[in-house]
Amino acid sequence: MGAVQSWYNRHVLPRWVSAACGMPHVTAQRRRVVPAARGVVLEVGIGPGHNLALYDPCQVTRVIGADPVAEMTERAADAIARAPVPVEMLHASAEDLPLENGQADTAVLTFTACTIPRVEEGLAELRRILRPGGRLLFLEHGLSPDPEVARWQRRMDPWWSRIAGGCHVNREVPALLGAAGFEILKVETEYAVKTPRVLGYLSWGAAAPR
Ligand SMILES: C[S@@+](CC[C@H](N)C(=O)[O-])C[C@H]1O[C@@H](n2cnc3c(N)ncnc32)[C@H](O)[C@@H]1O
């Protein structure tokens, strides 16, 4: 990685991602998903911790937040301090999590399946760590079913992923979950408000290990 890219990744990208992911309309989307978490929660790609305030302290025992990018998790300090539930942070990638089989009651994945480099391996890890009967709660952007939007997504993905920390705009998250051994229990889709369609085709819902 060149000096400019590494300066950008250290100083610009975390600020930009944190601000974009913390906008009020994004928080409104999170509220549809995160409060359903129960028990021991594994949140993968926790980044700046925007979900932490939304966990229900009567339902959640603790949150294990995993993320391999220190520049992102450094921004989570305030959210951790104010969180209504205990939070333990792991410097770890989704593809290789130092956790036991069946350790989590809930896995939470928000705006992260787009960025995990080996996403199939990451989802297989989540499935391994979720207990039988556990739930994966997801809120992700991805490939639009509209052919015109999808065409632009495929065109922009190579340069977008370079400026956006490895984020891909053309992943089909519900299909990836199915291929990783999850049964989709509920999925809803819509274009996010105040967001270009190429970035804002959202899928959210719940899945369980098959
Ligand atoms: C767009 S941010 C979303 C952050 C947070 N989940 C949210 O909803 O605001 C994507 C996150 O994925 C993290 N990430 C990148 N590679 C990862 C990997 N291999 N495993 C887990 N997380 C990863 C990044 O560090 C970043 O925090």
**pLDDT by 10-residue block (mean), the chain, 210 residues:** 88 92 96 98 98 98 97 96 98 98 98 98 98 98 98 98 96 98 98 97 98
Ligand 1: centre distance to CA 145 (Å): 24
Q: What is the pLDDT of residue 175?
A: 98
Number of domains in the chain: 1
Give strand ranges (E) for 99-199. 104-110, 130-141, 182-191
Segment 138-165, tens digit of pLDDT: 999 999 999 999 999 999 999 999 999 9
The ligand 1 site (C-beta within 6 Å) comprises 17, 21, 44-47, 50, 67-69, 72, 93-95, 110-112, 115-117, 122
Where in the sequence is the domain holding 143, given as residue range(s)? 3-209
**Neighbour-count burial for 34-66, b at 16+ CB within 10 Å, e otherwise:** bebbeebbbbbbbbbbbbbebbeeeebeebbbb
- The Cα–Cα gap between 81 and 175 comes to 36
Q: What is the pLDDT of residue 1?
A: 76
Ligand 1: centre distance to CA 169 (Å): 14
- CA dihedral sign of residues 31, 32, 33, 37: positive
Look up the CATH number of the domain holding residue 142: 3.40.50.150
Q: What is the pLDDT of residue 198?
A: 98
Q: Give residue 175's identity as a one-letter amino acid code.
A: A
